[in-house]
Amino acid sequence: MSGLSRSKSPMGALVGVAVMAVGVIAPFFLSRYQIGLATQILIFGMLAMSIDILVGFTGRTSLGHGAIFGASTYVVLYCVTQAGLSPYLAVVLGIATATVLAAVFALLAVRTNGVYFLLLTLALGMIVWGICLRWTQVTGGENGLRGDIRPKALADYKDFYWFILALAALVTFGIRRFVQSPFGLTLRGIRDSDSRMRSLGYNVPLHLFIGFTMSGFFAGVAGAVYAFFNNFVSPSTVALTQSVESLLMAIIGGVGTLYGSFIGASALIALQNLVSSHTERWQSVLGITFTLIMIFAPEGIVGKFRALRAKYASKH
């Protein structure tokens, strides 16, 4: 028996099953608008989780993931609306594009660290944004691309929600498996000490390259289905705010917790929608909320919860 960070408590499995059950029956109790929000939360939760692979498990903060995500969305919409391809093939091409784009980002960024990594991924994301804005004949410029591209089988909003729910479960399982694998452990080793990793025989840049590319793959999956959800893409999907918002989701939920990404996405998207229907100053409310979370729970909501539970367990 080895305890390699697999605190596999029966509680955890139970909570997982319960959450999944609630997720499955939720559409019977929610309005169409609310189901749309839930779908959006799941998609951005997947994006935030792909960022958590880097932030939480590798110690590298990326500000380029919005661009990787959005590139996938662009390709899917372009393939279906302009090139007339089937939406399924378009999804494959979208994910492939995001993965290749992430590999290019990774090639340039893996030798940097800390604030340089942050700035380099930010700059690369800006380039993608610039291309989407200016390459009008392909991307539609500021108007973006629009079209009802969702496959017939998923046309109903409830069916689409269930499809995204199943996909989110699959992606969560895949990312969890990835960060706990022997390779995932090497990423955590790099996070803690890359000089020690080198002296133990690890080619640190190669590991970062693979980790970044895998993270981009998952961001591409989220971006591809976002195209089905939104039926529209414009430069704001690949803009810096997209990267920052999804990074915030991962941080609010708790970096290094994976599931926290969905909590963070729920918090941010719910706040955006609820508060904006009551006041025009919703962005200030969001800013204040985020500040409070950083003061009272810098480890994020799930991180705080785990810390409290550990404290409780050690007392009893």
Partner 1 sequence: MAEVALTLSGVAVAFGALRAVDGVDLSIPTGQRRAIIGPNGAGKTTLFNAITGVVPPTEGRVVFEGHDITHLPPHKRAALGIARTFQITNLFPSLSVEENMVLALRGLSPQKFSLFGSPDLSTADQDRISRALRLAGLADRSATVVTEMAYGDQRQLEIALALVATPRMLLLDEPAAGLSPTERSIVADVIRGLPKELTVILIEHDMDLALGLVDYVTCLHEGRLLVEALPADIRTDPRVQEVYLGKPHHA
Tokens at 197, concatenated? 């990793």
Is position 313 an interface residue for partner 1 (rule: CB under 8 A)?
no
By CB under 8 A, tell whether 180 contacts partner 1. yes
- Subset of 158-177 contacting partner 1 (CB under 8 A): 174, 177
Q: Is 203 in the site for partner 1 (CB under 8 A)?
A: yes
Among 9, 199, 277, 314, binds partner 1 (CB under 8 A): 199
**Residue 185 interacting with partner 1 (CB under 8 A):** yes
Q: What is the DSSP letter of 232?
A: E
Tell me: does residue 314 bind partner 1 (CB under 8 A).
no
DSSP structural state of residue 78: I
Asked whether 112 and 177 are in contact (CB, 8 A), the reply is no
Q: Is 279 in the site for partner 1 (CB under 8 A)?
A: no
Taking CB under 8 A as the binding criterion, the range among 92-100, 113-121, 156-164, 192-200 that sits at the site for partner 1 is 192-200
265 three-state secondary structure: helix
Angstrom distance (rounded) from CA 170 to CA 142: 34
Contact 53, 232 (CB under 8 A): no
Cβ atoms of 297 and 264 closer than 8 Å: no
Q: Among 43, 47, 124, 214, which residue interacts with partner 1 (rule: CB under 8 A)?
A: 214
Asked if 121 contacts 64 with a C-beta cutoff of 8 angstroms, the reply is yes
Q: Which stretch binds partner 1 (CB under 8 A): 35-43, 200-208, 264-272, 300-308?
A: 200-208
Q: Which of 30, 96, 126, 204 binds partner 1 (CB under 8 A)?
A: 204
3-state secondary structure of 62: coil
Q: Give residue 135's Cα distance to chain centre.
A: 26
**Stretch in the footprint of partner 1 (CB under 8 A) among 32-40, 91-99, 151-159, 206-214:** 206-214
Among 126, 157, 189, 282, binds partner 1 (CB under 8 A): 189
Residue 241 makes contact with partner 1 by CB under 8 A:
no
Q: CB-based burial of residue 53 (10 Å sphere; 0-12 exposed, 13-18 middle, 19+ buried)?
A: buried
Question: Measured from the CB atom, is 86 or 181 closer to partner 1?
Answer: 181
User: Which residues share a beta bridge with 190?
Assistant: none
How buried is residue 3: exposed, middle or buried, by Cβ count under 10 Å (0-12/13-18/19+)?
exposed
CB of 277 to partner 1, least distance (A): 42
Stretch of 75-83, 124-132, 196-204, 303-311 lying at the interface with partner 1 (CB under 8 A): 196-204
Residues of the shown chain interacting with partner 1 in the complex, contacts defined by CB under 8 A? 2-6, 174, 177-178, 180-186, 188-189, 191-193, 195-204, 207, 210, 214
